[in-house]
Structure formats: C-alpha cells, structure tokens
Structure 1
Amino acid sequence: MSRVLTSLSRRAAHLLAVLLLVTMAGTVLVNLMPGDPAITILGPTATPEQIAAFNAAHGYDQSLPVQYLQWLGGALTGDLGTSVHSDKPVVDALLERLPVTLELTVLALLLSLAAAVPMAVVAASRENSVFDRVLSKAASGLLSIPTFVLGVVLVYVLGVASGLLPVAGWAPLSAGLGENLRYVVLPVLALALAEFPSFYRLVRSDVVSTLQTDFVRTATVRGLPRWYILVRHVLRPSSLSLVTVGAVTFGRLLAGSIVVESLFGLPGLGNLALQSVPGKDIPMIQGIVVLVALAYVLINAVVDTSYAILDPRMRT
C-alpha cells in the first residue's frame, strides 16, 4: 500500500509541475508575440481610453507574474477564465470543441493501428518477400507525403470527383450516426494514412527482431502453428515501442490537428487554437495548454501501467 501511495504522490507532483511549467510558458510566449491584444481585438481605430479600459477589464495592465497568478488562482477552482473574443467561459468552449477532436483522434488512431499492426506482422514474418517489399515502399511513400496533400487528394477523389462524401463541415452525433460518419470519414482517412507509415515501420522492425529470439525459435521447434507463435509469442513483446509511440501520437492529435481541421472546416481544438493564437486570446490559449498537458500526463501514466501488463519482467 505504501508503495502505491508513493507512486501516486509522485505522479500527482509530476502532473502539477508539468501543468505549472506549460501554462507559465504559454503565457510568456503569447505575451512575447508582437502586437497588443487590445488593438488586435478592438481594431486599429480604438481610442487610448478604450484600450486602457480593455486592459483594465482583462488584467493586461498588470505585470506578467500578477496576470499568471490571478489566472492560476481561478484555475485551481475550475475557472479557466473567459475568452476575450467570444466572451464565453473557456471551460465551455473547450467542452464544446473537445468531442470533435477526440472523435477524430480515436478513430484515426484505431484505423491506422488496425491496418498497420497486422500488415507489419505478416510482412515481418515473410521478410524480403514481394509482400514485404511492396508494403515497405508504400509506407515510405506515404511517409513522404504531407498530411494536407493527402487531405486534398481525398477531397478530390471521394468528394469532388465522385460526390460520395461532403468535403467540409461537421455533423455531431446528435444528428445521427450515419450523418456523423459521412463528415468524419475524409478527415479520419487523412490522419490515419499519415500515421500508418510510422506504426507499420516500427512494428515490422520490432517483430523482425523478436523472431530472432531464442524463445521464438523454441516455439517453432516444438511445432506450434505459425499464426499462434506470431500472435501469442511475438506480437506481445513487440508492442512496447508501439504503445509508447501510440500514446505520443494520441496526445499530438488531441493537441489539435490544425491542418486537417482547417482543411475540412471542423470545429475542433486545432481550429480553436488557430483562431486564438493570432488573436492573442490568452485565457483560451492557457485553457488549451492545460487540457493538452493534462492529456499527455495521464496518457504517460497509462503507458507506464501497460508496460507491466505487456512484459511481466517490468513489474519489479
């Protein structure tokens, strides 16, 4: 019990330190950007009196440490402030945008893994075969294509040329699952195709290495079926690197796939960040940073736990 409590307290301290550092860095970096938030929001025709009133209302007339401490005091009570653009609470804006980005992230990650893992295992088990060489070249080709190019090609092929799918916009799940999927297919495909090469190459490399180990040779000599060896003895120890990369990819996609969300006109976190940074909407930027940092820390905790499940040797 004491070991568990110690581990939990360390994770909590790590989470607090990360949140403090990233939110502080976010505040400093935004304030270092050229331009005045008041002029950016009120426009170049604003009078000095209007600018002074705006700065006083939002605390921009105070020093940077005071601004951050005031924000931190509100954040500790669950109040992340109010957007200076929309005058909407930051928490409400994040909760409104999060489901869009979360759905894109989860579906793209699952689709890319569902395609990459079995293909990589089969290719590694048939190393240097035609199947292996073709998939390796295809993965290298996809790796060299930017995500926005994949998105444009998908828009033209599946949207403009064939008219099968809408090329922009969003339909929430409340509008029906079928309608939601029609709008989500293209951006999910663009993200999944972009992530597929890294997953495929990583799993293939790890499986090739695992196939050379003694315990796999022993299982082969015992006459166990090839598929059983791959699934039971090879895939599990080859998944450690995949878990780490998958977790990092999840956090990166959740942080906002700005290119894809902008290309398809999706109301997600990426689009929100794209609007907030140039407009110097400091409370909104801090809220996005907190959300992303919290996601990364929690994901890392899950990854650490999964290591012990995948490899019992790590439990000690």
Structure 2
Amino acid sequence: MLRYIFQRFIGMIVVMFLVVTIVFIIVRVTPGDPAAVMLGPEATAADIAQLRTALGLDRSILVQYVYFIGQLLQGDLGRSIFLDQPVLTALAQRAEPTFFLTIFSILIASVIAIPIGVYAAYRRGSIFDQAATALAMLAASIPSFWLGLILMQVFAVRFGIFPVSGYGGPDTTLGERLYHLVLPAFALGIVSSALIMRFTRASMLDVLGDDYIRTARAKGVVERSVVLKHAFKNALIPIITVVGLTAAVLISGAVVTETVFGLPGVGNLVVSAVLRRDYPVIQGALLIIAGLYVLINFAIDMLYLVVDPRVRY
C-alpha cells in the first residue's frame, strides 16, 4: 500500500512539474510582446521597457524559468497588472463562489445520476432504462449557460423565487450568498449528471452479470442487498473516477456559468483577465486549476484504497 501511495505521489509531482513548464512556455511564446499587449497601444517605449524589467522579460529564457520556479516554491504567482495586487490574493478573494458552486453542482449531479443509473442498470431494457438513457443524452447535449438562462427566466424573473444574478453584498450572510448559487448549481449539476449516470449504469451492468451476484441470489440474499451491498460496492471504482473528474471539470468549466449569473468567482476573474491581457492572472489561474486537477486525481487514487481491497494488496 505504501508503495502504491508513493508511486502516485511521485506521479503527481512529475505531472505538476510538466504543467508548470508548459504554462511557462505558453505564456512566453504568445505572439507579440506581452508587456506591450498588457499596456495597450498608447504605451510609450519607456513604459514597455519598465514593465518588461518588472516582469523579468528582459532576461534569458533559462533565467526566467529558474526565477519562475523559485517564485512558485515561495507561493508567489506574480502580481496582477490591472488589479495591482498579488495574483494569489486575487484568486483567493474570488475562490469562495467557485468552491461552493462546484461542491453544490457535484452534489446535485451525484444525487440525480447515481440512483437513476443504479436503478436503470437493475431494470435493464425497461421503459425506465430507456427513458433515463434518453434524458441523459439530452442533458449532455444542453449547454450549461443556456440551461442557466432558462432557469433564470423561469425561477428568477417569472416566479421571483431565486435571485437573478450576483452573490450578495459585503454584509450578506453566508446563507444568503449560498442562496444565490442555487440556480447556477442546478444548471451545472443537471448537465454534469448525464455523464455520471451513464458511467454508473455501465459499471453496474458489468457487475450485475458476474458470477458472485448469481451466487448471492442463489443463496437467497435479499435483492436489495444484492444490488446495493454486493453489486454497487464493487462498481464504485469507475463511479468515483467519473465523479472526481466531473468535479475537476466543473472547477474550470464554471467560467461561462459564472459570467451568466454575474458571480464574482475565479471564472469571472479569468474572463476579465483574458479581455485585459492580464497575463500574470491568466498564468496563475492556469496553474491553480491544473494543480486542483492533479490533487483531485490523487485523492481519487487514495479513495481506491478504501473502496477496493485489491488495490491495497
């Protein structure tokens, strides 16, 4: 087991090193002078030269890379040009909406998809199974921003049940802020549930046909116990994988949804940074999101140890 954990940890470090290197190269090979792009067409040559010196762009690529790695090891992601504050601070200030939106969305997707997927596999070929598969395909083809606009029109504009947009003011309580996330969370959760449901159904179908399931039924084990205790437990590996990957995708995929609902999250910050050519913020956001991807994958690998004893041995 320790060898398994060590291998996964080393793999995580290697992947993060590659991600850091790729992000560094992408930003440096962008067409044009990054300093000139950030300052705009009205900038003077002196202003551009000053910014290039401040960003270290006047040094060699190797020196820039070593300096970049050193900054990362110190937790320094650079300084935003337009916000005039450290990138890490800017991202931390906008992390709360994105964090809660991701958590609520994955909970909604799991609550919808996993029970439906399990029952659809158990009733394979039935009307329920066919209807669930059709609805999953429909949900997978719906853009989250379009569904968000529909939910906004119905539940916010017409019935006035939920806020149209925003995240509340500075003095707003946490409960009221979370209330603003109901519609965007459902918009993301419903779309994400399609993939989870299909993986759950496929994984359950593979397990329900195994010999030990037939043996359990032959011994007279209660059908509910056969499905939930024997089959579902052994089908968890693919389900955990797809839920974890969906959570990682939601972190980076909430950009459009946050923009539609006017949420001051990381996605909205990235959109603003792209429009302003604020390269330090874009670079920092890429590194944070990639790091979260790697950490979620590592957490999934650790959950395998809990779910499947075969991994431990």
Tell me if the contact between 1:256 and 1:268 (Cα under 8 Å) persists in the aligned partners.
no
What is the CA distance between 1:278 and its match in structure 2? 4.3
The answer on 1:28 being equivalent to 2:25 is yes
Matches for 1:109-188 after TM superposition, within 5 Å? 109-171=106-168, 175-188=172-185
Tell me if the contact between 2:248 and 2:296 (Cα under 8 Å) persists in the aligned partners.
yes
TM-score scaled by structure 2? 0.92
Aligned residue among 238, 251, 259 for 1:241: 238
Tell me if the contact between 1:155 and 1:186 (Cα under 8 Å) persists in the aligned partners.
yes
Tell me if the contact between 1:173 and 1:180 (Cα under 8 Å) persists in the aligned partners.
no
The answer on 1:92 being equivalent to 2:89 is yes
Q: What amino acid does structure 2 have at the position aligned with 1:142?
A: A
Measured in 2, the distance between the counterparts of 1:32 and 1:146 equals 32
Deviation digits for residues 35-56 of structure 1 (CA, Å, limit 9, x no counterpart): 4333333231122122212222
Tell me if the contact between 2:23 and 2:287 (Cα under 8 Å) persists in the aligned partners.
no
The answer on 1:83 being equivalent to 2:80 is yes
Moved more, 279-288 or 160-169: 279-288
Moved more, 204-213 or 62-71: 62-71
Residue in structure 2 matched with residue 301 of structure 1 by the alignment: 298
What is the CA distance between 1:195 and its match in structure 2? 0.5
Tell me if the contact between 1:101 and 1:256 (Cα under 8 Å) persists in the aligned partners.
no
Residue in structure 2 matched with residue 196 of structure 1 by the alignment: 193
Residue in structure 1 matched with residue 248 of structure 2 by the alignment: 251
Measured in 2, the distance between the counterparts of 1:101 and 1:35 equals 32
Deviation digits for residues 237-294 of structure 1 (CA, Å, limit 9, x no counterpart): 1111111111111122223511111111112222222222343433223322332232
Moved more, 305-314 or 201-210: 305-314
What is the CA distance between 1:165 and its match in structure 2? 1.4
In structure 2, the gaps of 5 or more residues are none
Measured in 2, the distance between the counterparts of 1:284 and 1:152 equals 28
Matches for 1:101-116 after TM superposition, within 5 Å? 101-116=98-113
Using a 3 Å threshold, how does the CA distance of structure 1 residues 125 and 173 change in structure 2: closer, same or farther? Answer: farther
Q: What amino acid does structure 2 have at the position aligned with 1:176?
A: T
Tell me if the contact between 2:94 and 2:265 (Cα under 8 Å) persists in the aligned partners.
yes
Moved more, 196-205 or 164-173: 164-173
Measured in 1, the distance between the counterparts of 2:24 and 2:112 equals 40
Q: What amino acid does structure 2 have at the position aligned with 1:117?
A: I
| Partner SS, residue 171 of structure 1 | coil
Residue in structure 2 matched with residue 44 of structure 1 by the alignment: 41
Measured in 2, the distance between the counterparts of 1:238 and 1:13 equals 27
Aligned residues: CA RMSD: 2.1
Moved more, 122-131 or 185-194: 122-131
Using a 3 Å threshold, how does the CA distance of structure 1 residues 307 and 172 change in structure 2: closer, same or farther? Answer: farther
Using a 3 Å threshold, how does the CA distance of structure 1 residues 110 and 196 change in structure 2: closer, same or farther? Answer: same
Tell me if the contact between 2:203 and 2:239 (Cα under 8 Å) persists in the aligned partners.
no
Deviation digits for residues 153-193 of structure 1 (CA, Å, limit 9, x no counterpart): 11111122222211211138972243123210111001101
Structure 1 residue runs of 4+, over 6 Å off? none
Using a 3 Å threshold, how does the CA distance of structure 1 residues 272 and 300 change in structure 2: closer, same or farther? Answer: same
Q: What amino acid does structure 1 have at the position aligned with 2:79?
A: T
Measured in 2, the distance between the counterparts of 1:307 and 1:229 equals 21
Using a 3 Å threshold, how does the CA distance of structure 1 residues 277 and 177 change in structure 2: closer, same or farther? Answer: closer
Using a 3 Å threshold, how does the CA distance of structure 1 residues 63 and 275 change in structure 2: closer, same or farther? Answer: farther
Q: What amino acid does structure 2 have at the position aligned with 1:315?
A: R
Measured in 2, the distance between the counterparts of 1:61 and 1:171 equals 43
Moved more, 23-32 or 134-143: 23-32
Using a 3 Å threshold, how does the CA distance of structure 1 residues 269 and 223 change in structure 2: closer, same or farther? Answer: same
Tell me if the contact between 2:80 and 2:280 (Cα under 8 Å) persists in the aligned partners.
yes
TM-score scaled by structure 1? 0.91
What is the CA distance between 1:128 and its match in structure 2? 1.7
Deviation digits for residues 70-106 of structure 1 (CA, Å, limit 9, x no counterpart): 1211221222221122111112112112222111111
Deviation digits for residues 83-135 of structure 1 (CA, Å, limit 9, x no counterpart): 12211111211211222211111111111101111111112111122222221
Q: What amino acid does structure 1 have at the position aligned with 2:46?
A: E
Alignment: residue pair count: 313
The answer on 1:68 being equivalent to 2:91 is no
